[in-house]
Amino acid sequence: MSWKSKKQQVVAHSSAEAEYHAMASASCELIWLKHLLVDLSFVSHTHMLLFCDNQVAMHIASNPVFHERIKHLEVDCHYIRQRVQAKLFQTSYVRTHDQLADVFTKILPSGQFHRLLSKLGSVNPLDPA
């Protein structure tokens, strides 16, 4: 049974927990992609970068100490912590203001919306390209 068929819906108790679950899911995708690239003879020995805009979630992922406040996290989500400690991933903080995915998921002020669109290579969202 593949990991995709075991996906369950998760109700997060905090935004940090939700981000941590997202990091765990993204890490599985990154490992799958790395194995695919190895199969295609594209071998890289650099760390994979895992970006996150929640510093608490990044701290949970990198801190080996089990905290009482996070005891309700599922065991399978600690997978990412093991990978970060094994130096397979390097977590990197991205400010919420610079989070490109927000263009697709949030209502943004006009200035920030257009700034993020320009980073994506689009200047006019109504332009048919």
- Both tokens of residue 78? 């600690």
**pLDDT class for 115, splitting at 50, 70, 90?**
confident
More confident position, 85 or 74: 85
Q: Are 95 and 53 in contact (CB under 8 A)?
A: yes
Q: What angle do CA 118, 123, 106 make, to 5 degrees?
A: 65
**N-term to C-term CA, the chain:** 42
Residues 27-56 pLDDT 10s: 889 889 989 999 999 988 888 888 888 888
Q: pLDDT value at position 27? A: 86
Q: Specify the pLDDT at position 37.
A: 92
Q: Residue holding tokens 């995915």?
A: 101
- Residue 76 reports pLDDT greater than 90: no
Provide the sign of the torsion angle of the four alpha carbons 73, 78, 80, 85, taken in this order: positive
Q: Please name every residue paired with 52 in a beta bridge, in sequence order, or none if there are none.
A: 93
pLDDT score of 82: 82
* pTM of the predicted protein model: 0.63
Q: How confident is the model at residue 124 (pLDDT cuts 50, 70, 90)?
A: low
Q: Give me the residue spans of the domains in the chain.
A: 3-94, 97-129
Distance CA 57, CA 14 (A): 10
Q: What is the pLDDT of residues 79-109, one digit of tens each?
A: 777 888 888 888 888 887 788 888 888 888 8
Query: Residue 78: pLDDT above 60?
Result: yes
Cα 61 to chain centroid, rounded: 11
- Are 117 and 103 in contact by the 8 Å Cβ rule? The answer is yes
Q: What digits encode the pLDDT tens for the residues 8-17?
A: 555 556 677 7
